[in-house]
Amino acid sequence: MRKVVVAGVGMTVFGRFPEKTVEELGAVASLRALKDAGLQPADIQIAYVGNLTEHRVTGHNSCLGQEILKDVGIHKIPITRTEAACASGACAFREAWMAVGSGLYDIALALGVEKLTGAGHAPLTRQGLNINGLAGLHPPGWWASRAVRHMAQYGTTIEQLALVSVKNHANGCLDPYSQFQKKFTVQEIQQSDMIAEPLRTLHMCPISDGGAAAVLCSEEVARRLTTRPVYVAASALTSLTYLQQEDMTFNDLERRAAQQAYEMAALGPEDLAFAEVHDCFTIAEVTRCESLGFCERGEYCHHLEEGKWSLGGKFPVNPSGGLLSKGHPVGATGVAQICELTWHLRGEAGERQVPGATAALGHVSGGTVAGLNGACSVVILKT
């Protein structure tokens, strides 16, 4: 497979926009990515659109990409919607990468977009199959039991978990695209509403709307567009049936995806400047970073207290604010990470810039609503 370059990125501010349609959010993100790449809509040869829940907002979401992109002036080309729960946008990016990498297309668009406002809640049961549903576990409950187990196994405290939220909300204040623009103290986080013992509201990502897009191209095209290309060094995608999971505090799904990505990029975690990680819950950042190999198992919170994962620390995690502060419009999240990685690798991340970044990692994991099955994407970009 030939090398693929991220030629341009763009996103909308994440937030709650009940008055905006998914078409508007998707079109704005796409136009910004095109502008950033210095390309016109007619230059796009193939497009992928990651979206999960639009059918819950408007009743259907078939050919959503065609609906969104016609407003941008992109039509006639192949447009496919991709879905793997919270990894839907990451899948759009991955298919665009393969389409260019295969040599069949030179310029591809990956769009992730979601309007969760108005989507309501998905049912938690699935006929005859939902063992987690039978056990009464919704996502907060599922992650709460992992938190309790991590505490028992490694002595992790709820205040340490709250520090993840403190860090990410502080970072989010430096990211103009972030939904929250507000710092929180450990006390404030621990005074927010209890949802599933020991996790409170501010240990969880919010309901968000937003879009994010990336234009990918061949090296040859990139030479025309930029003198500082950002390369896709690796893209790995793995699946998991959670019933296979042996240890609640460690995610085999992430471990395998990271291993594959490190091998493909010929880089290890020690070569990375920072990472964007799927922190849908505070405990999720902890177990996922441990699974991705950023530190030893059970050690994330110790390093957290020492500032290793903060901006200015040795290895910032979620400089954008992550899902906790930036927000989590499901389909958009994986592509928004590509935006954040690209900005840092170009030195364009403003106040939150990780200095001298030449390689960085983006991670998303998605599962069914009740968490029975999942998908995990790990992407490494480098200069």
Q: How far is the CB of 255 from a second copy (least distance, A)?
A: 11
- The contact set with a second copy (CB under 8 A) reads 1, 21, 23, 52, 55-56, 58-63, 65-67, 69-70, 75-85, 91, 94-95, 98-99, 101-104, 122-123, 125-129, 236-241, 244, 256, 366-369, 372-375
Query: H or E element: which one contains 382?
Result: strand 373-382
Which residue lies nearer to a second copy by CB, 101 or 211? Answer: 101
Largest CA distance in the chain: 57
Active site residue 344: no
Q: How many residues does the chain have?
A: 383
Q: Which residues contact 81 (CB under 8 A, 6 or more apart)?
A: 48, 49, 50, 51, 61, 63, 64, 65
Beta strands 107-115 and 209-218 are antiparallel
Active site residue 86: yes
Q: How far apart are CA 313 and CA 257, in angstroms?
A: 25
- 254's tokens: 């992430």
Q: How far is the CB of 98 from a second copy (least distance, A)?
A: 5
Which residue lies nearer to a second copy by CB, 190 or 238? Answer: 238
Which residue lies nearer to a second copy by CB, 193 or 246? Answer: 246
Beta strands 107-115 and 46-50 are parallel
Q: How far is the CB of 143 from a second copy (least distance, A)?
A: 17
Which residue lies nearer to a second copy by CB, 321 or 367? Answer: 367
Q: How far is the CB of 2 from a second copy (least distance, A)?
A: 9
- Which backbone phi and psi does 4 adopt, to 5 degrees? -125, 140
Active-site residue identified among 278, 303, 328, 344? 328
DSSP summary character for residue 351: G
Q: How far apart are CA 168 and CA 49, in angstroms?
A: 27
Q: How far apart are CA 88 and CA 151, in angstroms?
A: 31
Which residue lies nearer to a second copy by CB, 61 or 320? Answer: 61
Q: How far is the CB of 190 from a second copy (least distance, A)?
A: 32
Q: Would you please indicate which residues are annotated as catalytic (active-site) residues?
A: 86, 328
